[in-house]
Amino acid sequence: MEPLLRPKCFDADLNSPDATTRWNHWFRTFQTFLGTVESPKLNKLETLIHFVDAPVYVYIADCPDYESAISTLEKLYVRPKNIIYARHLLQTCKQDTSQDVDQFVQRLKSLAKNCDFKAVSAIDHENE
């Protein structure tokens, strides 16, 4: 086990605005950590329980296996994107006087990530 890859204890509050971002980051580091552990006897559920804080453990205490525990945590922490609101934010975004063009374009790109835009051909667009 590489101590540098060891994830921190997950203790995000469900009601915080960045709970989804914190969950996604923590879960990715946890998966990386599990990938570095080379033990055939590794119990993923017990390892998961070791790396979550007590308020988070309450939600997965009754889960019988690792997959159901992860599924429960994803249902709690990953919020669905409000595509309509995201598109409204993108459409009404204006460049601040203190922003240069590169900063504004970067802001537009970050807002567009939540808009669920898809590449379509002219024929597909015509059929809709």
pTM: 0.70
Pick the last residue of a domain from 77, 92, 110: 77
Pick the last residue of a domain from 77, 96, 111: 77
- Residue 69, judged by CB atoms within 10 A of its CB (0-12, 13-18, 19+), counts as buried
Do 17 and 73 share a structural domain? yes
Do 7 and 22 share a structural domain? yes
Do 64 and 12 share a structural domain? yes
CA torsion angle for 96, 102, 107, 113 (degrees, to 10)? 160
Do 41 and 55 share a structural domain? yes
Domain residues for the domain of 105 are: 83-127
Do 88 and 66 share a structural domain? no
Q: pLDDT tens, 54-109?
A: 999 999 999 999 999 999 999 999 988 889 999 999 999 999 999 999 999 999 99
**Percent of the chain whose pLDDT exceeds 90:** 55
Do 72 and 34 share a structural domain? yes
Do 71 and 47 share a structural domain? yes
CA torsion angle for 26, 31, 33, 36 (degrees, to 10)? -160
Do 56 and 41 share a structural domain? yes
CA torsion angle for 35, 38, 42, 47 (degrees, to 10)? -50
